[in-house]
Structure 1
Amino acid sequence: MDVTNSSEIHTESEIEYDRKSQLKAFDESKTGVKGLVDAGVKKIPRIFIHEKNKLDEEEEDGFSHGVSDFSIPVINLEGMNVYGSLRNGIVKKVGEASKNWGVFLVVNHGISSNTLDAMIEGVRGFHEQDNEVKKKSYSREYGSRAFTYNSNYHLYDNPATYWVDSMHCSMLPTPPNPQELPQACRDIMIEYSEKITRLGFSILELLSEALGLNPNKLRDKDCGRALFLVGHYYPACPEPNLTFGSGKHTDKTAFTLLLQDQSGGLQVLHEKQWVNVAPIPGALIVILGDMMQQVYTIKRYS
């Protein structure tokens, strides 16, 4: 005879209500996952646990998760601004990588390692500052202010929460007032944004030429009109086998310029295999968004 303690019986609605309460409490703390780490948690809250069947789906999604023989294309941009055979060679490589991969790394892109390292330290400095200072930037009302910080963009919509905190700032088309930016990373955000914007326009020119268009075609179509700077922070997780820092996704933008630290962990899907993007000091990752992917897919099969 089975005897069940009635206090352990929960209806689906009660479980859902409990999750909503936990999400609300986590959100209202305004300290993100970094706050949990600072509090010394040994077990991650249930809202961060991805159910075993979901983890299995991630592993059995029809794609290979093992060691891949593929390596992400690395393109040397030195000489890209000098029209001639060298630039033509760069354009060809950009076109091939865009059509076949949708992602590539660039080196010798004109932004110094000092600036890149300072940007990474700026993001880390913001997320690791005193919570009471950081809370002043916490918001889910995107667009209400130039700079915001929170944990999980879609906190209340995703079935499980990711182990990540993020800072967000719209730098273009209307640059923010410097006083709206946090002191911990204000100067480097402005410097980095100016330099990454120039590089972004250069890459737009290369992408245009790779499509057989006038160099200014994509820029004239406002593909580089906006710059949205995001700084993700993934503090050490006490139970990393139960959660993720991010899920499978694509970007809706024209393209993303990603500055990766040396910790690794980023993967891209290529020919049904998840390929590790090994960090290269001084490199930036160019990831074509949905719009550009569609353009290059059409070109690939035309």
Structure 2
Amino acid sequence: MAAAADHATPTYDRMKEVKEFDESKIGVKGLAESGITSIPRMFIHSPEALSDLKKPNSQTGTKKTIPLIDLSHFNSPTERHQLVEQMRDATSTWGFFQVINHGIPKSVLDETINAIKAFHDQPHEVKSKLYNREKERQGVMYSSNNDLYRAKAASWHDSLTIWMAPETRRAKEEDIPELCRKEIVAWESYSTKVAEALLELLSEGLGVEAERFKGLGFLEGKLVVGHCYPYCPQPDLTVGITSHTDSGLTVLLQNQVGGLQVKHGDEWVDVEPIPGALTVNIGDFIQIISNDNYVSVEHRVLAKASKEPRISVVAFFNVGTQADSDYFGPLPELLSPNKPALYRKFTVPEFTESFFSKGLDSKSFIQKVRL
């Protein structure tokens, strides 16, 4: 009987389903728009992965929120030290914070979100011309799930990825879709100024010179990603993006559709969108060179059944140096006999290879180089 039952149930070929989805180039937005009422099996996550999706924000009823930092005192000789302390506190306990009065005009923020939404709203016949996986590390790429072939289960989002630096990887301006070209170039320029200010404050928070992080090359690798998380008919069976940590410094702009969650201790905390605010987090690279003074934290995006898609525009700032001879590790200024290095040294290519060799995950590189 068992043999007959087995025979009646054809073996599920996940890779075949993944390949067909990828070759269709319609992305999850195309699936959502096709009117499906259940999601394909390749998007269904394991019960273990889904087990904590429904946990309330807090058992006590007091809602936790990530820190909110006002950057208006950045140039104040008397208030700046207080700003440094706020940042240090936020980055050592949460790894995440939101910033207001960051100097980017509201019109630029709105235009950036609208332009990315307009790109994703195009008919898939238009977008599919840009759909590829070959340009994962250069130029312009539109795809669904950058780790589609590496992850255990796919997630419910599509992305437009544009490399802005270093020069060897930078997208040609004419290759950026015209629909959002001007806005992406402006967003890169503005978000870089914010990142530069934040890196100064992070350096000062460690007691090293203000230019230290910049000097390590943290503004030399720049990637802009415009995510779209469309309507999902079964949000309890999948996620918008799986739990992961980032690599360098991340500056994120989101529309008013929530879904971003940050892990704080054992619980997941909702990052409520604040109009005009940017969400900032640090990645594994910064945790390592700060010798654990700053923490890189897992975060994820929930899938949602709302008709309005979640749109987020992320600027990733990473060390652009690619030489095998350049070793990074905890900053020597932070080390003493009482505070030895917690990590071994590594190269950027080793870090990058580790990132691109698997699905999005949490802190595996940190575990790999921890002494």
TM-score (norm 1): 0.90
Listed one character per residue, the Cα deviations across residues 32-73 of structure 1 (whole Å, up to 9, x for unaligned) are 0111122111111111112334423x45xxxx9322342211
Q: Matched residues, percent identical?
A: 39
Secondary structure in 1 matching 2:88: helix
Aligned equivalents of 1:2 and 1:26: distance in 2? 32
The correspondence for 1:218, drawn from 205, 213, 229, is 213
1:129 paired residue number: 122
1:123 Cα deviation from its structure 2 partner: 1.1
CA distance 1:295–1:130, change in 2 (3 Å) = same
1:173 Cα deviation from its structure 2 partner: 2.3
The correspondence for 1:67, drawn from 33, 57, 73, is 57
Paired residue total = 290
Kept after mapping to 2: 8 A contact 1:171/1:227: yes
Aligned equivalents of 2:3 and 2:17: distance in 1? 30
Which segments of 5 or more consecutive residues in structure 2 lack a partner in the other structure?
Answer: 295-337, 340-371
Q: Between Structure 1 and Structure 2, which shows a larger proportion of helix residues?
A: 1
2:351 paired residue number: none
CA distance 1:168–1:4, change in 2 (3 Å) = same
Alignment of 1:1-302 (within 5 A): 4-5=4-5, 7-10=7-10, 14-15=11-12, 18-56=13-51, 58=52, 65-68=55-58, 69=62, 70-80=64-74, 82-143=75-136, 146-174=139-167, 175-252=170-247, 254-296=248-290, 298-299=292-293
Secondary structure in 2 matching 1:92: helix
Listed one character per residue, the Cα deviations across residues 119-140 of structure 1 (whole Å, up to 9, x for unaligned) are 1111111111121211111110
Listed one character per residue, the Cα deviations across residues 267-297 of structure 1 (whole Å, up to 9, x for unaligned) are 1111222111111001011101002223445
1:229 Cα deviation from its structure 2 partner: 0.5
Kept after mapping to 2: 8 A contact 1:98/1:296: no
Aligned equivalents of 1:2 and 1:214: distance in 2? 70
CA distance 1:39–1:217, change in 2 (3 Å) = same
TM-score (norm 2): 0.74
Which segments of 5 or more consecutive residues in structure 1 lack a partner in the other structure?
Answer: none
Letter in 2 for 1:84: P
1:177 Cα deviation from its structure 2 partner: 2.3
Kept after mapping to 1: 8 A contact 2:287/2:293: no
Letter in 2 for 1:41: I
Letter in 2 for 1:8: A
Q: Between Structure 1 and Structure 2, which shows a larger proportion of strand residues?
A: 2
